[in-house]
Every structure is written in C-alpha cells, then in structure tokens.
Amino acid sequence: MSEKILLSHGAGGGASQRLIDDLFMKKLGNELLLQKNDATVLPELPGRIAMSTDSFVIQPIFFKGGDIGKLAVCGTVNDLAVQGAEPKFLTLGLIIEEGFLFSDLERIVGSIADTCAQAGVKIVAGDTKVVNRGQADGIYINTTGVGYVPRGRQVGGSLAKPGDVVIINGGIGEHGMAVMSQRSGIDWETDLVSDCAPLNGLITEIFKVTPNVHVMRDPTRGGVATTLNEIAGQSGVGIKLVEADLPISQGVLGACEMLGFDPLYVANEGKVLVIVPAAESEEVLAAMRRHPLGKKSAVIGEVVAEHPGMVTLRTAFGGERILDMMEGELLPRIC
C-alpha cells in the first residue's frame, strides 16, 4: 500500500478494493458489512426506526480527546440516543483529498472501530471518494445512523413542561474550547480535553430508572444556551438557569476568557441536557452519576411558565440576564 492516498483509491478499481480489504474490512468488518452487496439488508428491529445523518469537517482532524473519526461516530450515535433510540447501525462516507497520509487514515479508521465498539454499533455500508489535491481539506466524513425506539419512550423538544428540571451530565464547553485552544496555539497553557463520547450507555441508565423523560438533546453547535432556546421555543415554556450551578472547569473558564467566548455558547460533544419532572430528578441524577460519563451530573435550572420561548440566567450577583440564541457561526468547523 502506498503511503499516501491516491485518486485511484477512490476510483472503484483494484486500488479501491485493496483499501477496502486491507483497511476497512480488517478494522470495521462484521457479518452485515461482509454481505458486500449494493445495499445491506438489516435485521428487523424491535421498535419504531429512528434515523439521523451528519457530516464532519472539523479542523484540526486530530485534537486532544479525539479525532474526526471518533467524532463522526459519536455525533450520529448521540443524535439517535437523545431521541430515546437505541443506536444500532451506521453508514460511513469518506471524502479524502489526494495526498492524505495513509497512516492518518489508518489512525482515523482505528478510532472509528474503537468508538463503534464502545457504543455497540456496527458500520453496515460505506463509500470512499478521493478528490484532487486542493479540492478538499484533508478528509470529510459523513455518517448516517439507524436505531430503534423501544416501546414506551416518548422524548421530544416540544415536551418540556413547567415544573420540570434541567440536568446536564457534566462540564460545559469542553469540546469547543479544546479545539479552539489548539487552533489558536494556547493549548500548551491549558489541559483541555474534548468531551467527545458516545452517550447511549448513559442514556440507557436513565431509562432504566424512569420512562418519564420529557426532553433530551445534545448541546453541540451553539452550546447549552442555543439548545435550551430551541427547546423553550418548541415547548412554549421559559427556562431559568442558575449560574452558580453550572459545571464549568477552571480550564474552560480560563480559555474562554483568553479567547473571548461564553462557555454557554461553546460546543459540547459528550454532553446531554435531560429535562424531567422535578419528582423524578433525584433518581435520574443518581443513575447518571453512577455512569462514568455522568459523574459530574448536576441540575442547572428549571422549566417555568413565565417568559415562554426565553432562557434566562440568574447570575452570581443575583441579577437575571436573557440568554439569546447564538447568531451566526461562533466557531467554524468545530464538528
């Protein structure tokens, strides 16, 4: 195998076949991928089918806590999981720039395999295209995921109700600030690591203690503030956050200050906002804290009938400020 990716690796001939056999099949192969037909026929699933797709163009491709491959699996797995679905299958589409290092591709595919194993999902179809040098920036990845929603789960952005509480499973802004500090060259001063992780295991633990989860959403681009604004709008409720209760690490606070960001608008890739009735909150919180990805889970606010569609923050000084939706693109190519 040559040490760089060539146009022929995406052309469907012998070089493509060797790339498939020697890399993709070796690392990602399973009985479904081995069908090797034009389409993969999936086994029946015990519930309504959920589907999601996302494309990943992050720069840098390798960052502290992950890489574009891990992110491409986590992003789609998490979008299925926050809808109450059990993620099962993923497709993998790669667009690679001619000249990309084979060793980098190997590393990315290895991390896709590891993350699939961690999340309990299988790659069941794939495609690779190689474009001329200069026509892409290294590598772009698309994943589409399929899962099923077990009977009795009803989660959606329009289901938040006054009297619910808002829980998050840990520190805010860690993915965005890890990437931004690396990109701006201040990462030597910080020990920021992306929180990128598949959340389906944690979410399964929540459903074990109650089916009564109203809303779940992963606060990716636009961060916690933008995601909660979407939910407040969809549900026609107000959401009040308490600044003193927000779990934000000193590292994230420091990097945000240095680079001029508000952590509430910074992307997360391993966080979920969970909105449940107050009566369920203690059990849900305890279940989340038992999971490795939820040790720092905290209640950060409540759903109210006042100011529908609006999110407010009670500041450390006792004032109240409105948290708007993010306007424009704060952090380009963060995922």
Binding interface with Mg ion (CB under 5 A): 79, 218
Question: At which residue do the structure tokens 């499973």 appear?
Answer: 169
**Residues, the chain, total?**
335
**Residue placing its CB nearer to Mg ion in the complex, 79 or 174:** 79
Strands 164-168 and 62-63: unpaired
- CA proximity to 213, closest of 79, 88, 310, 83: 83
Provide the token pair at 70.
Answer: 């891990």
Would you say the C-alpha torsion 38, 44, 48, 51 has a positive or negative sign? negative
**How far is it, in rounded angstroms, from Cα 208 to Cα 293?**
16
Q: How far apart are CA 204 and CA 290, in angstroms?
A: 12
| β-strand pairing of 311-314 with 238-242 | parallel
Residue type for position 232: A
Residue the block writes with tokens 């449940």: 276
Please give the Cα distance from 66 to 76 (Å, whole number): 15
* Structure-token match 């399964």, residue found: 204
- Cα separation of 25 and 284, whole Å? 40
Euclidean distance between CA atoms 8 and 167, whole angstroms: 49
Residue with tokens 């667009």: 95
Q: Is-contact 145 110, C-beta < 8 A?
A: no
Nearer to Mg ion, 98 or 218 (CB): 218
Distance of alpha carbon 262 from alpha carbon 173, whole angstroms: 9
CB 94 within 8 A of CB 16: no
Residues 326, 186: contact at Cβ < 8 Å?
A: no
